[in-house]
Chains A and B, each alone.
Chain A
Amino acid sequence: SYELSQPLSVSVAPGQTARIPCGGNNIGFKNVHWYQQEPGQAPVLVIYRDDVRPSGVPERFSASNSGNTATLTISSAQAGDEADYYCQVWDTTTGSVVFGGGTRLTVL
């Protein structure tokens, strides 16, 4: 089955740029989606189809996808960005949705 790997945690200083990687075999050939989950809340879609922001998501959130790594980038990080971030793809081989293990972003 297809697997997505994410680091358990990423730290960034306020105002700096955070980059959260999501690794997968030839992930560049898949559409990657990203979710933000604040503590005690449901996940929220922040990027879909590799690099598209849903309405209402700040421009500080961007993403890219190439080769074996997709990356979520959060510029000018704020305390309010502290959350868990999950990448997700659709695996055509198994006909199933796959989530990465999630990355805890800390802004300090």
Chain B
Amino acid sequence: QVQLQESGPGLVTPSETLSLTCTVSGGSMTTYYWSWIRQPPGKGLEWIGYIYYNGNTNYYYNPSLKSRVTISVDTSNNQFSLNLSSVTAADTAVYYCARAVTSGTTNFDHWGQGTLVTVSS
């Protein structure tokens, strides 16, 4: 059974870069896309983006976040990462990593437990 686990700082200073890592266990990263999704406290889900297991140019980002987002993958360590630059309080959220199944459409069949990131000085 595939399992995902997020890790990274729980507190980030405004204007700095938020960095998170997701470790995948119990399965291979190959043939899948790997995604980040966030949820501000008390609000709904927002897709951030995803990347194909082989990285390269196979990635998609939410247009509203594209200028600040970088997602990368390290299959040798079964990990993928999120960098979100120039953060503000509006970026405070629970951040989830998830496996994306893409075949003419996209859905997320395995999720991490989520990690709360607070943006505050």
Q: Is the CB of B107 within 8 A of A48?
A: yes
Q: Which residue of A lies closest to B112 (CB)?
A: A42
* Count of chain A residues near B, Cβ 8 A: 26
* Least CB separation from A89: chain B residue: B105
For B63, give its contact among A1, A31, A41, A90 (CB under 8 Å): A1
Chain B proximity of A94: nearest CB distance (Å): 6
CA separation between A43 and B53, bound complex, in Å? 22
Contact with B108, one of A43, A49, A95 (Cβ below 8 angstroms): A43
Residues of B within 8 A of A44 (CB): 111
Among B45, B46, B63, which residue has its beta carbon within 8 angstroms of that of A43?
A: B45
Number of cross-chain contacts by CB at 8 Å: 60
Q: Is A10 engaged at the interface, CB distance under 8 Å to the other chain?
A: no
Q: Looking at the complex, which one of B44, B45, B108 makes contact with A45 (CB distance below 8 Å)?
A: B108
Provide the bound-state CA to CA distance between A1 and B105, in Å: 17
* B99-110 Cβ-contact flags toward A at 8 Å (1 or 0): 001101111110
Q: Give chain B residues whose Cβ lies under 8 Å from the Cβ of A1.
A: 63
Assess whether A33 is interfacial by the CB under 8 Å rule: yes
* Contact of A33 (CB < 8 Å), options: B44, B104, B107: B107
Chain B residue at smallest Cβ distance from A42: B111
B28-42 interface with A by 8 A CB criterion: 35
- Chain B residues 85-109 with CB under 8 Å of chain A are 96, 101-102, 104-109
Shortest B37–chain A CB gap in Å is 8
A103 to B70, CA, bound (A): 31
* A30 and B111 alpha carbons, distance in the complex (Å): 23
- Cβ-defined partner of A31 (8 Å) among B45, B105, B111: B105
With A96-B63, A99-B46, A99-B47 known to touch, is A90 a contact of B105 (CB < 8 Å)? yes
A41–B113 Cα distance when bound, in Å, is 7
Contacts of B104 in A (CB 8 A): 31
Q: List 16 A-B contacts (CB under 8 A).
A: A31-B104, A31-B107, A35-B45, A42-B96, A42-B112, A42-B113, A43-B96, A49-B105, A49-B107, A90-B106, A94-B63, A96-B47, A98-B47, A99-B44, A100-B44, A101-B44
Q: Top 5 nearest A-B pairs by Cβ distance? A: A97-B47, A31-B105, A33-B107, A42-B111, A90-B106
